[in-house]
Structure 1
Amino acid sequence: MNTTLLHRLWHWLTALTVLGLVGTFFLRKTFLSWRTNSRVIEEGLTAEGVEITAGLAKTLAKTIRAPMWEWHYYLGFALVVLLAFRLLLFLFFDDRQVVRSSLFGSQFRTLRSNATKHSAELAAGIHRARVYTLYLVVFGVLFFMSASGVLLCFDDSLGLSRELVESTKEAHEWVAWLASLFIPLHIVGVVFAELRVEPGIVSKMIGGSKE
C-alpha cells in the first residue's frame, strides 16, 4: 500500500469529506427531515392559534434545512475533485498493484498456484487480496456516489426525465447507506489489522512509511 504524502493527504481529506457527506445525509433523514419538522411547525403554530397549511409548513421545514444541505453539495463536489486526483495517483504511481493483487488480479492467481498450501506467504497474500478487493469496491461506491450526485444536482440542465431522476435518487440513497455502513467496518478492520495482521498500519497512514 502506498503511504506517500500525496496518498496520505488524499486518504484523510477523503475520510473527512465522506464523513461530512454521511453526516449531512443523516441530518436530512433524521433531525432535519422536512416530514418531522413540518409537523412540529404545524402543531406548534396551531397550538398558538396560528393557522398554517401543510404545504407552507413543508416549505418552511425545507427552508430551515437548506443551509445544511448546501454543505452536502459542496462536499459532493469536493469528493469529485478528490476522486479525479486519486485517478491521477493511480496513473502516475504504481497503484495498479492494487488491481493486480486483488482477488481478481494476476499476481494473486500466480501466488495461489505457486505458494505452499497453508503457508504464511499464502495467508498473507489472501489477506492482502481481500483488502485490495475491498479498496476497489469502496472506490466503485465513491465513484457511483459522485456520478449519481452530479446527475441529481444538474438534472434540469441535463434534461433528465422524472423517472430517471427518481431512480437515480433512490440508488444514490441506497449507496449512501452502504457508505455509512462501511465507516464503522473500516475502523474495526484497521484496529484488527493493527493488532493482529499488519502492526504499524495506523502510524504509516499518519506519518508515512519509515522504510
Structure 2
Amino acid sequence: MPTPAATPVSTHDYSAPLRVWHWGNALLVLGQLITILFIKVIVKPKALVPEFQAAAAQHGGNLSKEQGMSIAHLLSERLWDWHIAIGLALASFWAYWLVLQLTAPAERRFTTRLVAAARYYRLAPPAEHPDARHALLAKLTYAAFYLFISVMVLTGLALTWADDVTWLHSMEHSVKEVHNVTMYLLIAFVVVHIVGVVWAELTKDHGLISRMVSGEK
C-alpha cells in the first residue's frame, strides 16, 4: 500500500475574524498585565502610605497611617475593578474564539490544522523536515497559548464570583494559585511569541506582521 504524501501546512491563518480576535486579544492581555503591574508593583498600599503622608504634610495636613492605608486600598480596588472588567472582555473574546472554531469550515479549525501539521511532520521527506518541524512547533505553541488563555479565563471567572458562590469560595485559594501560575506562563509565551515573530519577519517570513494586520498574503 503506497504511503500517503506529506502535504505542507500553512502555519498562519489570516482570515478577518481570526485577525480581529488576535489583535483584540493581544490588547486585552496587555491591559490585564498592565493592571497587574500597577497593583503588584506600582500601587502597593504599604509603600504608598508614607508618600500620601508626606504629600499631606506639605500642605499642612496630617494623614494617619490608617487613613493612608484606606486611600491606598481604594486605589487598589479601582485597579482591580479595571482588571475584572478587562478580564470579562477577555472572556468574551475567548468565547468568540470558541464560536469561530465550532463554526469555521473544517479545514480552518485549529484542531484540523494541528493534526495536519503533525501528519506533515511524520510523513515529510528528509529535505522537508525543517519546514515540517517548524510548522508543528508553531502549532504546538499556539495550542499551549489556547490552553493558557482558557485556564486564565476560567479561573478568572471563578475568582470573580468566588464570594457569591459557595463551592467556588471553598476552592478560591487553589484557583488563585492556578490563575497566578498561568499568568507567568502566559507572560513567557508572549515574550517568546514576540521574539519569534520579529525573528521570522527579519529572516524567512518577510511581511508576516503586515499580513496579520491586512490579511493579504
Match of 1:193 in 2: 200
Match of 1:130 in 2: 137
Match of 1:76 in 2: 87
- Whether 2:163 is the aligned partner of 1:156: answer yes
Give CA deviations for 1:26-74 in whole Å, capped at 9, x if unaligned: 1101111223223544676689784735x55433211023222211111
Match of 2:119 in 1: 110
Q: Is contact 1:116-1:122 (8 Å) kept?
A: yes
Match of 1:52 in 2: 64
After superposition, the Cα gap between the structure-2 partners of 1:166 and 1:85, relative to the gap in structure 1 and judged at 3 Å, is same
Match of 2:110 in 1: 98
Unaligned runs of 5+ in 2: 1-11
Question: How far apart are residue 98 of structure 1 and its match?
Answer: 3.3
Q: Is contact 2:52-2:63 (8 Å) kept?
A: no
SS in 2 for 1:197: coil
Match of 1:166 in 2: 173
- Whether 2:96 is the aligned partner of 1:89: answer no
1:61-72 paired onto structure 2 within 5 Å: 61-72=72-83
After superposition, the Cα gap between the structure-2 partners of 1:114 and 1:161, relative to the gap in structure 1 and judged at 3 Å, is closer
Q: Is contact 1:89-1:95 (8 Å) kept?
A: no
Q: Is contact 2:19-2:212 (8 Å) kept?
A: yes
Match of 1:19 in 2: 30
Match of 2:189 in 1: 182
Letter in 1 for 2:27: L
- CA RMSD, Structure 1 to Structure 2 (Å): 2.5
- Whether 2:46 is the aligned partner of 1:35: answer yes
Cα distance in 2 between the residues matched to 1:42 and 1:159: 40
Q: Is contact 1:35-1:58 (8 Å) kept?
A: yes
Give CA deviations for 1:47-104 in whole Å, capped at 9, x if unaligned: 9784735x554332110232222111111000111011101111122466533454xx
TM-score (norm 2): 0.81
Letter in 1 for 2:124: A
80-89 vs 39-48, which moves further: 39-48
Q: Is contact 1:149-1:172 (8 Å) kept?
A: yes
Question: How far apart are residue 204 of structure 1 and its match?
Answer: 1.1
After superposition, the Cα gap between the structure-2 partners of 1:162 and 1:81, relative to the gap in structure 1 and judged at 3 Å, is closer
Match of 2:3 in 1: none
Question: How far apart are residue 178 of structure 1 and its match?
Answer: 2.3
Cα distance in 2 between the residues matched to 1:45 and 1:163: 42
Q: What percent identity do the matched residue pairs reach?
A: 25
Question: How far apart are residue 175 of structure 1 and its match?
Answer: 1.7
Residue 139 of structure 1, aligned match among 127, 133, 146: 146
Match of 1:202 in 2: 209
After superposition, the Cα gap between the structure-2 partners of 1:160 and 1:42, relative to the gap in structure 1 and judged at 3 Å, is farther
153-162 vs 70-79, which moves further: 153-162
Cα distance in 2 between the residues matched to 1:131 and 1:71: 32
Q: Is contact 2:152-2:179 (8 Å) kept?
A: yes
**How many equivalent pairs are there?**
204
